[in-house]
């Protein structure tokens, strides 16, 4: 008789149509569990947890359910199309996370990947607490209050998190969390152009509309430098449309391909980021892999990889002049830029997906 296949379910907060960092990490784990022989399901609710609580009108509830089932049976639902998921992974579209939705997964390991999915999973009684896991990738106080986030840290489920600063937040709520830093795909991102042969005037940065990314601060710092160094050129990439007032010394690439994404990083001497808060900071690591020297702000996520004067130059959040000063130092001191880029490239190589997956698998099996 064949042993029963291990099952794991990843609860995502919504259907994704474009690349999202937290989803990328969940998908990477899903692929690796599948290759390890697990039965893997990714669950997408139609109704977000925070919104469901606000639906008081029974007719609106009925309308939403009818809309969901119409789209479901018409096969209109799509998600994760931008990521190369293994074909054997099941995508499960449900109206909401509930006992009935998860009734066939009582013996599976259930991974809540966001605060809203943790809140919903906590209310599910058909799944034993021993099979509930809360994968904390950021301090997610944008759809719920900060207090609600801290309350979620006290739910009776095992907590896994990606960064020391997030583990500290969980501990401040009187709970424990296992630290499992993210990995990077060293086959996807590569160093193809030597750091010595890059123009110090070539800058790369991510563009994002999330206010926490503080892209406007990075752009202000670069504007200060442009006044001193007319040769400065910035290549920016991201998911949204570019800003309407983007200066002509910027080049913008929307949702670049793998080849172009690598070319952006490898053409740049310096990668700039000014976030006030990051769960981990995937683009920072990608830039390090690709040989960029890093000038960024000092926040919990970046500090997983960015060590001042060793693997990066750090400046206080919101301090555009300090950020500009650090960028200028890297432009003007080529020897130091090369040293920093090499150190970052060496340091980031400890963050492998193989190590992360083994730690994650051990945690859910313990």
Residue 295 has pLDDT above 70, yes or no: yes
Judged by DSSP in three states, 215 sits in helix
Q: How far apart are CA 291 and CA 285, in angstroms?
A: 10
| Contact (Cβ atoms closer than 8 angstroms) between residue 8 and residue 131 | no
**Cα separation values, 297 from 75, 266, 322, 362, Å:** 44, 22, 9, 33
pLDDT (tens digit per residue) in 171-193: 999 999 999 999 999 999 999 99
C-alpha of 90 from chain center: 22
Q: Please report which confidence band the pLDDT of residue 51 belongs to, taking 50, 70 and 90 as the band edges.
A: very low
Q: How far apart are CA 90 and CA 40, in angstroms?
A: 6
pLDDT (tens digit per residue) in 124-158: 999 999 999 999 999 999 989 999 999 999 999 99
Q: Residue 2: its pLDDT value, please?
A: 46
**Among residues of the chain, what percentage have pLDDT more than 90?**
85
Residue 1 has pLDDT above 50, yes or no: no
Q: Please report which confidence band the pLDDT of residue 61 belongs to, taking 50, 70 and 90 as the band edges.
A: low
If one compares 143 and 290, the residue with the highest pLDDT of the two is 290
Which DSSP category does 211 fall into?
A: G
CA proximity to 162, closest of 363, 366, 365, 346? 363
Q: Please report which confidence band the pLDDT of residue 301 belongs to, taking 50, 70 and 90 as the band edges.
A: very high
Q: How far apart are CA 150 and CA 320, in angstroms?
A: 31
**Greatest C-alpha distance within the chain:** 74
Q: Write the DSSP assignment of 156-168 as a string of letters.
A: SSEEEESSHHHHH
Domain 7-183+352-365 identical in fold to domain 195-350: yes
Is the pTM value of this prediction over 0.75? yes
Answer CATH for 7-183+352-365 from 3.40.50.2000, 2.40.30.10, 2.60.120.380, 2.40.50.140: 3.40.50.2000
Give me the sheet containing 233-238, strands edge to edge. 250-254, 233-238, 202-207, 270-273, 293-297, 313-315
Q: Residue 5: its pLDDT value, please?
A: 83
If one compares 63 and 46, the residue with the highest pLDDT of the two is 46
What are the residue ranges spanned by the domains of the chain? 7-183+352-365, 195-350
Q: Quote the mean pLDDT of the chain.
A: 92
CATH number for the domain running over 195-350: 3.40.50.2000
Residue 18 has pLDDT above 90, yes or no: no
Q: Residue 112: its pLDDT value, please?
A: 98
Which DSSP category does 365 fall into?
A: H
Q: Residue 17: its pLDDT value, please?
A: 84
Let me know how many helices (H) and strands (E) the chain has, helices first.
Answer: 12, 13
Q: Write the DSSP assignment of 115-157 as a string of letters.
A: HHHHHHHHH--SS-GGGEEEEE-S---SSS-HHHHHHHTTSSS
Residue 202 has pLDDT above 50, yes or no: yes
Q: Write the DSSP assignment of 14-38 as a string of letters.
A: S--SS--HHHHHHHHHHHHHHHTT-
DSSP element (H, E) containing 267: helix 258-267
Return all residues near 52 (Cβ < 8 A) that are at least 6 apart: 96
Residue 62 has pLDDT above 60, yes or no: no
If one compares 68 and 288, the residue with the highest pLDDT of the two is 288
C-alpha of 89 from chain center: 21
Q: Residue 89: its pLDDT value, please?
A: 97
pLDDT (tens digit per residue) in 320-361: 999 999 999 999 999 999 999 999 999 999 999 999 999 999
Per-position b or e across 292-301, b if 16+ CB within 10 A of its CB: bbbbbbebbb
């Amino acid at each position: 008789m064949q042993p029963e296949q291990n099952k794991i379910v990843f609860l995502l907060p919504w259907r994704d149509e474009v690349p999202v960092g937290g989803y990328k990490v969940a998908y990477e784990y899903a692929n690796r569990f599948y290759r390890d022989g697990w039965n893997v399901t990714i669950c997408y609710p139609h109704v977000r947890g925070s919104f469901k609580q606000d639906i008081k009108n029974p007719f609106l509830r009925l309308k939403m359910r009818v809309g969901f089932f119409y789209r479901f049976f018409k096969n209109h639902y799509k998600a994760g199309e931008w990521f190369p998921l293994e074909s054997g992974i099941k995508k499960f579209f449900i109206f909401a996370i509930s006992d009935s939705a998860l009734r066939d997964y009582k013996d599976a390991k259930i991974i809540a990947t966001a605060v809203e999915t943790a809140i919903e999973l906590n209310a599910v009684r058909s799944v034993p607490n021993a099979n509930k896991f809360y994968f904390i990738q950021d301090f997610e106080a944008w759809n719920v209050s900060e207090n609600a986030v801290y309350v979620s840290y006290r739910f009776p489920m095992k907590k896994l998190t990606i960064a020391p600063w997030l583990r500290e937040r969980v501990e401040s709520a009187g709970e424990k969390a296992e630290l499992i830093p993210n990995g990077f795909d060293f086959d996807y991102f590569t160093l193809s152009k030597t750091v010595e042969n890059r123009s110090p005037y070539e800058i790369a940065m991510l563009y994002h509309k999330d206010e926490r990314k503080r892209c406007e601060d990075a752009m202000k710092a670069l504007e200060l430098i442009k006044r001193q160094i007319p040769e400065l050129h910035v290549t920016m990439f991201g998911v949204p449309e570019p800003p309407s007032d983007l200066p002509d010394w910027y080049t913008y690439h929307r949702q670049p391909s793998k080849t172009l994404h690598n070319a952006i990083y490898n053409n740049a001497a310096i990668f700039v980021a000014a976030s006030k808060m990051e769960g981990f900071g995937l683009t920072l690591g990608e830039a390090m892999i690709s040989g960029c020297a890093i000038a960024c702000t000092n926040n919990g996520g970046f500090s997983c990889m960015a060590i001042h004067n060793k693997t990066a130059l750090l400046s206080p959040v919101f301090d555009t002049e300090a950020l500009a000063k650090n960028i200028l130092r890297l432009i003007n001191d080529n020897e130091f830029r090369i040293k920093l880029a090499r150190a970052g490239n060496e340091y980031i190589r400890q963050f492998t997906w193989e190590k992360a997956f083994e730690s994650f698998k051990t945690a859910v099996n313990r």
